[in-house]
C-alpha cells in the first residue's frame, strides 16, 4: 500500500498530514517544517523521526543534531525536543494522546 499525503493541517510554522493510523494511539504522519517547531515534550508518547527531505537542526534532550535526508532519531517520553529548518519528516507516533503536548516556549 502506498501512503499519500492527502489532507494537510496547517499549524503555522509546520504542516501535518496523517498517512496511516494503526489505531488511535499509533500512526505515521508526514510533517513539513517551514521555520521552527518550538521546544515541547510528550509525557506518554514516543516518536521516531525519519528525515525524508531538506535539512535543519533537531534538538532532542541535551543533544543538537544537524538533520538531513536519511537521518533517523528517537524521542522518548518526557524528552524536550524542537526542530528548525526547511525539511520533511516522517514521524511514527506511539502511545499518542491528544492532550499530551506540553509547549515550553511561548
Question: What pLDDT is stored for residue 76 in this prediction?
Answer: 98
**Is pLDDT at 106 greater than 70 in this prediction?**
no
Q: Could you tell me if 84 and 98 are in contact, meaning their C-beta atoms sit under 8 angstroms apart?
A: no
Q: Which CATH class is domain 9-94?
A: mainly beta
Question: What is the domain partition of the chain in residue ranges?
Answer: 9-94
Strand partners, 31: 16, 89
Give the cell for residue 19: 498517512
**Of 3-7, 14-18, 78-82, which gets the smallest average pLDDT?**
3-7
pLDDT band at 72 (very low <50, low <70, confident <90, very high): very high
Amino acid at each position: 500500500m502506498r501512503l499519500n499525503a492527502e489532507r494537510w493541517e496547517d499549524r503555522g510554522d509546520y504542516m501535518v498530514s496523517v498517512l496511516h493510523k494503526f489505531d488511535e494511539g499509533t500512526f505515521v504522519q508526514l510533517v513539513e517544517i517551514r521555520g521552527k517547531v518550538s521546544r515541547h515534550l510528550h509525557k506518554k508518547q514516543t516518536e521516531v523521526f525519519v528525515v525524508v527531505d531538506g535539512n535543519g537542526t533537531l534538538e532532542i534532550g541535551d543533544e543538537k543534531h544537524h538533520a538531513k535526508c536519511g537521518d533517523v532519531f528517537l524521542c522518548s517520553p518526557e524528552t524536550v525536543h524542537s526542530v528548525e529548518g526547511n525539511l520533511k519528516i516522517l514521524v511514527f507516533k506511539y502511545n499518542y494522546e491528544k492532550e499530551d503536548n506540553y509547549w515550553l516556549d511561548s
